Structure 1
């Protein structure tokens, strides 16, 4: 009897998917070694790069050769590598540089829990605390190097997102905006710069606020920082509350605590803006679905679809009034008090 043979192309497809982590490893290597910074003057061979970078030329060639298959760098006929538009974002001095963002997203505090994804799926919870002795954000609070990597990386990732967010939503001419869990303040800074009639409050943990980015001449007198815990309360009486990349970190029960705190603080006619990915149905490739597994592996969080947001808002005394897609992977989910 002839045994049916598997389609060899499908075997290759599955094999390549199984080894996809090597693309992340190669990208991290390029970001960490600073290859892109050494190609700003034009193409260079791995032999020319090896000395300044302190690496092995043959090994570097193999890393860059793989990245070039994904449009990150391009190899010329003479064996030299040049920057592509994607590789330009790995330059440390590029506008909206993603170098620190790539380093953060490929750090072991994300990589290692992802390797335990099967355990997470079986147990229904992240293995992060088992691996590191504390939940994710508690680990950052007690590990300064990890915290610096995370906050610097998030600022890098957010640079382009912040511009897209502000372009997608028409902020009012006057009033107060509270950026809840706003990190170093990149989004609030951009909101205030683009809307001169607004004032803002950056609300986050005290250790995060120490390195905020609001103290610039253009914003003099229009901002303040307030330390606190958004599970307990948020500053009251503002016109707009921002939650960017916050709810996806937490379970539904934890999100309800945050949302109810915002609802209690909102003034009459206030607005809540949740800036997160919105998971769409269907089988198309989706960054939201990739990010969803990262949240599941490390944080017990999740990315949500429109109905998920609608249900959460209703339980918190809010009503979903619209979703504004942006030019980034994120959307602005708009809610009003009911």
Structure 2
């Protein structure tokens, strides 16, 4: 095999390609150490690999090799004598830390993603979502039929929401001083909880699938008497009477046709003048790089959804009885698209 000179363009190209080729190896290694609780065992400080293996029920040799791989990716830190500790990245994998990424990692490395990604070749040929090709049904129908996956999904969405920075998003949302906020398909209510904590004059309604809202996060002392949950299907209708309706990370899951159905449900529930806040990634109009481009491919894998530009959001909203007034960027992946029912 020919030697590639260090630092050459050919070497750099090969490195990029090998990282892409073996990306699934890193994901599998990450899932393995999280499954075996290695980050939690390191929560109190570095430990020898022999102790980690004994306490996690794993074998010393394979564990050392996997930890070394992830150390090269900045998840762990290896010291002399086979002692491993957590980096800042690894700390986020512990189950007991605020803003833990553990649930998100378990979801992102689940077979749902792996098998959906394997179907991308068919997606390119037929347009059919990789998930549907792999599992023979739609994504949300699958979650409804497999409650254990639904629980993993809900926990991951709560974890990812924390990573997007609810505080930053809420600061950019034009909430009134008083009124009712309806969080449509709001998951376990992490965003709604933070909205109500920040705005004491507001009440809230959490609306999502019955099994999801049963696991809500709203039962905190500061919010007593200011919220209720309601289970249902967004395509059938949403709770009426809201002064503000929230749709966070919802429309990107769906085709334009389904987005119009969702927005139609919201518009039927909303009185003229009610505000709609769509919190989603907004892609640049000129095709310049954006961190949501990767998420756009995930949408291609799992659903018939997609990330959209501000112009595309404006078109959907206009066809649904809303007037869009702007899209406010934030320091997170997401923007706040502001509209009003007309």
TM-score scaled by length of structure 2: 0.92
Q: In the aligned structure 1, how far is the partner of 2:11 from the partner of 2:229?
A: 59
Find the residue that maps to 1:153 and give its secondary structure: helix
Partner of 1:302: 306
* Structure 2 spans left out of the alignment, 5+ residues: none
Q: Given the alignment of the two structures, is residue 119 of structure 1 paired with residue 118 of structure 2, yes or no?
A: no
Partner of 2:338: 334
Moved more, 163-172 or 243-252: 163-172
Task: Work out whether residues 77 and 87 of structure 2, in 8 Å CA contact, stay in contact via their aligned partners in 1.
Answer: yes
Task: Work out whether residues 278 and 338 of structure 2, in 8 Å CA contact, stay in contact via their aligned partners in 1.
Answer: yes
Match for 1:99 among 86, 102, 106? 102
Moved more, 188-197 or 36-45: 36-45
Match for 2:159 among 131, 156, 159? 156
Q: Given the alignment of the two structures, is residue 88 of structure 1 paired with residue 91 of structure 2, yes or no?
A: yes
Shift of 1:48: 2.1
Partner of 1:192: 196
Q: In the aligned structure 1, how far is the partner of 2:182 from the partner of 2:111?
A: 32
In structure 2, the CA distance between the partners of 1:77 and 1:307, relative to structure 1 (3 Å rule), is farther
Match for 1:229 among 226, 233, 250? 233
Moved more, 250-259 or 214-223: 214-223
Moved more, 39-48 or 84-93: 39-48
Moved more, 224-233 or 134-143: 224-233
Q: CA RMSD in A?
A: 1.9
State the Cα deviation string for residues 25-50 of structure 1 (Å, max 9, x = none): 12212222221111122112322211
Partner of 2:296: 292
Q: In the aligned structure 2, how far is the partner of 1:123 from the partner of 1:270?
A: 40
State the Cα deviation string for residues 109-165 of structure 1 (Å, max 9, x = none): 121111111111111121323422321111111111111111122112212332332
Shift of 1:288: 0.7
Partner of 1:315: 319
Q: In the aligned structure 2, how far is the partner of 1:274 from the partner of 1:181?
A: 12
* Structure 1 spans left out of the alignment, 5+ residues: none
Match for 1:205 among 203, 206, 209? 209
Q: Given the alignment of the two structures, is residue 272 of structure 1 paired with residue 276 of structure 2, yes or no?
A: yes
Match for 2:82 among 55, 75, 79? 79
Shift of 1:79: 3.3
Task: Work out whether residues 167 and 326 of structure 1, in 8 Å CA contact, stay in contact via their aligned partners in 2.
Answer: no
Moved more, 121-130 or 195-204: 121-130
Shift of 1:221: 0.9
TM-score scaled by length of structure 1: 0.93
Match for 1:53 among 52, 56, 70? 56
Shift of 1:77: 4.1
After TM superposition, the runs of 4+ consecutive aligned structure 1 residues lying more than 6 A away are none
Q: In the aligned structure 1, how far is the partner of 2:212 from the partner of 2:118?
A: 29
Q: In the aligned structure 1, how far is the partner of 2:291 from the partner of 2:59?
A: 34
Partner of 2:10: 7
Find the residue that maps to 1:7 and give its secondary structure: helix
Find the residue that maps to 2:230 and give its secondary structure: strand
Task: Work out whether residues 247 and 255 of structure 1, in 8 Å CA contact, stay in contact via their aligned partners in 2.
Answer: yes
Q: In the aligned structure 2, how far is the partner of 1:30 from the partner of 1:105?
A: 14
Q: In the aligned structure 2, how far is the partner of 1:201 from the partner of 1:93?
A: 29
In structure 2, the CA distance between the partners of 1:69 and 1:283, relative to structure 1 (3 Å rule), is farther
Q: Given the alignment of the two structures, is residue 248 of structure 1 paired with residue 227 of structure 2, yes or no?
A: no
Task: Work out whether residues 255 and 305 of structure 2, in 8 Å CA contact, stay in contact via their aligned partners in 1.
Answer: yes
Shift of 1:244: 0.9
Q: In the aligned structure 1, how far is the partner of 2:277 from the partner of 2:27?
A: 32
Q: In the aligned structure 2, how far is the partner of 1:304 from the partner of 1:80?
A: 46
Shift of 1:187: 0.8
Task: Work out whether residues 28 and 106 of structure 1, in 8 Å CA contact, stay in contact via their aligned partners in 2.
Answer: yes
Question: How many residues of Structure 1 are paired with residues of Structure 2 in the alignment?
Answer: 333
